[in-house]
Structure 1
Amino acid sequence: MGGHHAGFDQLRIADRGTIGWAIVVGLLIVVLPLLPVLVIVWALTKLFDHAADRAARWEIVVQRPTSGKESTSSASLACS
């Protein structure tokens, strides 16, 4: 009663190793195709953060022309 065989314990250890490697391989199969997408998202995030910081630092303001001649020409374009 209750006797364990060494072969059975070794088989269980080998099965655990096989299951572990199967999980690792499965994760690699899922993650590797997504890696380029993750890199692109990361790069775009860095780019937009840099652009937002730069805009905030320089306080970019779009100015409209103030002379009457330019404003009437834009008004005439809007009407036609």
Structure 2
Amino acid sequence: MNRIAEHRERSGIRQRELVAALGWTQTRVSNYEAGRRTAGLAECRAIVAALNGLGAVCTLDDVFPPDIKAPQAA
């Protein structure tokens, strides 16, 4: 799960502005936001950098929270 749309919307950034900042297609960004496509590390970094460049204040872990699972008892 990611929080791209949450941070984008909270910062008043339109999806088309994020698309333009990244130089990607709207479909690609939409698919990442909806979880239909999984971003690799380079894409995650680019998204966070673009969000911050457009006025959001967020980190990689804010937008792409780690999926930490508790260890299972033996």
TM over 0.5: no
TM-score after normalising by structure 1: 0.22
Of the two structures, which has the highest relative contact order with CA contacts closer than 8 Å and spacing of 6 or more? Answer: 2
- Compare the two structures and name the one with the higher helix fraction: 1
